[in-house]
Structure 1
Amino acid sequence: MRIGELSKRTGVSPRSLRYYEEQGLLTSARSDAGQRHYSDAEVERVSLIRQLFAAGMSSRVIASVLPCVETPSDPGVTESAFVTMTRERDRIDADIADLIETRDALDVLIRINRRHWAELSTARKPMTPAA
């Protein structure tokens, strides 16, 4: 399939697909006219690349992990990918802990804000004149 079809099937822009190729994350065959052609397997690979980017990995880190997908029986590749993946998982765990801490601090501010608004709304109620 050509780059436009891969783009449609994956939801990734042709520009991003070209970037993936420049970074060594994706490969294509070239026609005589120089057009990129991708196999059906590249759809799944692009999906994996997107997930890894969404997890905050850089293209450099992704490039170091992907050989594990290509040659899963190579112990050297598998071990290197394992080390990289566990390091990235630890980084993500730290990011999650930071986000939880930030969310908890925001919850405190929200509670304070609610109390403040409640106090303001009761202070604004007009007093009824005594008869």
Structure 2
Amino acid sequence: MRIGELSERTCTSRRLLRYYEEQGLIVSRRESNGWRCYNERNVDRVRQIRGLLDAGLPTRIIRQILPCLEEPGAIHVSDASPEIIAALERERDRMTKRIRFLVRNRDAVAAYLDMVRDGHAA
């Protein structure tokens, strides 16, 4: 698929997709006319990247953990510095707190909806 289709399917600007490619986060091949061509796998990859960026991870860390999201048996961690490990632990803990917060809010909204649907709103 071309960059325009990848952009539409992932709700990601073409400029960001080019940036992801520059950062080594996604890969394209070039057609004979020079246009970028992406495979289907890039749709999920871009969504994963966006989610990790939304969680606050910088692209340098995302580049290192992307293999964990695809092929857990093929992870190479020989270049994981203590700083990167500490940063990942902080991010994991921050995400865990955020997940708890989101679950609590989701449950509150669901309870409110149940009350409203049952006609018991205060």
Q: Which protein has the larger Cα radius of gyration, Structure 1 or Structure 2? A: 1
Relative distance call for 1:93 and 1:36 in structure 2 (3 A) is closer
Relative distance call for 1:25 and 1:93 in structure 2 (3 A) is closer
**SS state at 1:17 partner:** helix
Residues 1:32 and 2:35 aligned together: no
Residues 1:42 and 2:50 aligned together: no
Of residues 87, 92, 98 in structure 2, which corresponds to 1:89?
92
Moved over 3 A (4+): 83-87, 93-96
2: CA distance, partners of 1:3 / 1:75? 28
Match of 1:11 in 2: 11
Match of 1:22 in 2: 22
**SS state at 2:73 partner:** coil
Once the two structures are TM-superposed, the CA of residue 95 in structure 1 deviates from its matched residue by: 8.2
Once the two structures are TM-superposed, the CA of residue 93 in structure 1 deviates from its matched residue by: 5.5
Kindly, what percent of the aligned residue pairs are identical?
49
1: CA distance, partners of 2:63 / 2:11? 21
Count of equivalent residues:
92
2: CA distance, partners of 1:93 / 1:45? 19
Relative distance call for 1:36 and 1:85 in structure 2 (3 A) is same
CA RMSD of aligned residues (A): 2.5
Does the 8 Å contact 1:10/1:43 carry over to 2? yes
2: CA distance, partners of 1:36 / 1:15? 13
Segments of 5+ residues of structure 2 without an aligned counterpart are 99-122
Match of 1:113 in 2: none
Give the TM-score of the pair, scaled to structure 2. 0.65
**SS state at 1:76 partner:** coil
1: CA distance, partners of 2:96 / 2:75? 28
Relative distance call for 1:43 and 1:95 in structure 2 (3 A) is same
Once the two structures are TM-superposed, the CA of residue 64 in structure 1 deviates from its matched residue by: 1.0
Relative distance call for 1:38 and 1:93 in structure 2 (3 A) is closer
